Structure formats: structure tokens, C-alpha cells
A and B are shown apart, each in its own frame.
Chain A
Amino acid sequence: MTPAAGGMVNETKLKLAVHIGGITMKNPVATASGTFGFGAEYAPYIDLNQLGALVVKGITLQPRAGNAPPRLVETTAGILNAIGLQNPGVEEFVDKLLPGLAGYDLPVIVNIAGDTVQDYGRLAARLGQEKGVAGLEVNISCPNVKKGGLQFGSGPDMAAEVTRAVKSATDKPVIVKLSPNVTSIVAVAEKVAGAGADALSMINTLLGMAIDIKTRLPILGNVVGGLSGPAVRPVAVRAVWQVYQAVGLPIIGMGGIVTAADAIEFILAGAGAVAIGAANFVNPRATMDVLAGIKQYMIENGVQDINELIGAAHS
């Protein structure tokens, strides 16, 4: 597709809805897990109903205390974090946090993480019973927990096994979140698709670290952490591009999105939706600003339906 030359667009009838593996989002802008809490934290700043989807902080079977501080270091145009999946556990999430989201008109996607394949299956079975859960995002790629996360994400076969365990435990849409810390993200994506995933999201953070040259010691309590923010965007765009080309599943793209232009770049690379992460910290209204900018771009470029843009950079 070549760029339209500002053709006639009915501004009041812009089509923004996208479909991500069985989840209908009223617009393509979601929140990235772990950067938006459970939604309530940002309710004073934006109308949550305007979001395409809310992806909540990673949930595990048992409560997790998280890593020792410091948990965050700023790096050049980015941040390294090592939160360590601090969360109240699935039961408290279902009892105390999920009900608060019932009043909102938006799909709630729950990010899940486990130590074992069985953990993922159990989490999926438990959350699968909840009406308020629109879908699951399977975190096979968090670099911040020693036992879980990364070991699943790094091996394509293990990633497929986790996907199968989740799929067989629930009928809800399953989005598998991919790690960039692998030799071939395409190889993992293909295996996960073969195992029945309904959609993919990418990228999780890049494994990194920072050292304090005064104390001569690592800064993070966990020594290593995950890099995100503007610094990682080209890596993420590349991942979306490659996976879109190789695998037919819908993709939620993320990694360093700050502006609408950043988001549109991901959509052109093949993302059916985008998620805003660290940018929320700087601008609590980042999701809304990105959405407004996408609409503006559509109007200026004669795009009536956002779906026309998905993967449009693949000529």
C-alpha cells in the first residue's frame, strides 16, 4: 500500500476497533503490564474507558514480595527495572482488585507468570473462571525472577509447552508475550503459534545491568534488570516486523512508545495494537495522547480504518 494523499475521511466515523485473537479493542492503544498497576492508579489522570485494553501487572499463584531495592535505574533514554514480580497472588487479585474493574467498559487482560509449566496451567484455569477477565497475557519472558520467566521464554520448545498448558486450561484468548533475549524471536513465535496461541505481544524488556562507578558495585538489588523505554524501540519494531512476516497471529507491539508517531511505526511494522509502558511514568496521559495522535494521523493521511495500516510497511 502506498500512503494515501490525504483522501476524504469522515472524521466522526474513523474506524479504530481492532481484533486481537478474539478480543475486540475499541481502539489499538493498551497499557503494558507492570507499568500501569491495576488501572486504579491512573484513574485520576485518564478515563480508563477510553483505553483499548487494560493489561494489568503480572500475577503469580502465590503472593510475591519482589526484589530488594534499588529496583530501578535510569539509563540513556530508558530505564532498567528489577521489580521481581511483586504481586498479591491470584486469589487476592480476584477477590480485591478485579471487582474494581468491573465497572469499566474495556477488556481486562491479565498478565500471568509461573515457576513451572503447571503454575501457568493453574493460573489459566483459575482466571478462566472469571467473567471480568477478557484474556490472558502469558509472560514467558520476565528477566527478573530467577526461577521463572526467562527460562521459558528462551527455549522455543518450553515456550510452546507453556502455551499448550495455558490453552488447555482455559477458553479465554491467550496472548503469549515474547522476550527479545533470544537467538531467534521468530523461532519462538512460530512454536508458540503452533501450540495454539491466539495472539502474540512483544517485546518484554531486554536484559541489562548498570554499575555505580563510585561504589564499584551493581546498582540494582537484583544485579541485572530489564531495559525498556525509548532506547529499545528499534529492537522492538524489528521484532514485530520479523514476526509479522513469519507468523499469521495478531500482535500487540510495545517497547519505547512515547508518541503517536512511535505507535504508528509499530502498526506499520505489523502490530494490530500497541501497548504503552514506561512512557506512562513520564506522562500519565501518554495513552490518551498517543490515541489522539493516531486519529490525527488517520485524518491527515486519509485512513478511514486503522486496520488498513496494520503491516502496511510490508510492501
Chain B
Amino acid sequence: MSVIDTLTGEFARLPGVGPKTALRLVHHLMKGKKDDTRRLARAMVELADRVRSCDVCGNFSEDALCEICSNPRRDQGILCVVEEAYEVGAIERTGQFRGLFHVLGGRLSPLDGIGPDELHMDSLLARIRDVEGRVREVIVATNSSVEGEATAVYLEQEIRPLGPTVTRLARGIPVGSDLEYVDGTTIAQALAGRREM
């Protein structure tokens, strides 16, 4: 298989990229400056080699602890629980949240065989237990899809006996949409209007 075919095939495996777009991307790279292409390739290699999950919260990180977990000025008393690591960025961009995060790595999805054991739920409960009483509030920012709602109900059942108040983002975020695709103002409003479950 030629280099061009190989790269086209790799691009086509990316989400939202079909064979035609893949070929167009390859043509674009061939026509452009070689240095640009090398820089792109290096960035991808670094992504693979250096970016990992934060040991504590599961956010993207280049070290054992992510920038948020290692920042002493963040409020250790509030945890915001999201489904996926890329949703951390969406909430960070609002600039309205000063607490810490916890990434579940998905949501309860029995049709795909995903229960609590397949998600980072035990580590969340352990985080709350370990600092005994320091976590005042857990904001459950799972999606408003049926699965996200059930995940929120489950978390609330598990967390409340441990002490913290459990809140849910206010309505206004369209049903089933990833936070990543919701505009910052809407997220900020949902955050400000959060309510106890």
C-alpha cells in the first residue's frame, strides 16, 4: 500500500471524516509546506507519547496530576462530575468554576454493557471519603439524555450518604448534547442555576 493510501485510510478512520475528505486532507498536506506537515506529525506523536489521564480526576494531563488538580488555588470543596475528559474544557472556558473535576469516562449504558464498574465511580467515592468532610458539594454535569439522567440519579444515591450536597446543572442545555458543543453562556447559566437533586 502506498504512503498516500495509508495516510488516507488513517484519516478516514477519524470521526466525521469520510474517504473523500480524507483524500482532500492528504492532497492539502502534499501541496503545502513540508515543515507544516512535519510540525503536525510531531504534535500528533507528542499527543500519543505525552498526554495521559490525570491520576486523580481523569482529565487530560501531561503529568501524574493535571493542571487543575495541582493548582492550590482551586476550591477543594467542590467537585464537578463530567462524562468525558473533553467536557472539562467546555466548563473551564466559562471561567465560572473554581473547583475540581472528576471524569467518569462515560455513563450508565446497559445496552452497551456499561455499569458502575466500567466507569470511574469507585475512585470518585474514594476521593470524597478520603478527605472526610472536605467536599461540600458535588455538581453532577452528566448529559441530559436518559442515560445521563440515570447516571446522575445513581451518583446522587451513592454520594449523599457520604455527606456532600449533590447538585445538578439547571435545565437549558439541550437534551442529549455534549457539553463540548454547548455555548459558554448557556453552560455558565446552567452552572449558576444548579439545584440540589
- Is the A/B pair a real complex? no
Chain A residues with a Cβ under 8 A of chain B: none
Which residues of B approach A to under 8 Å, CB–CB?
A: none
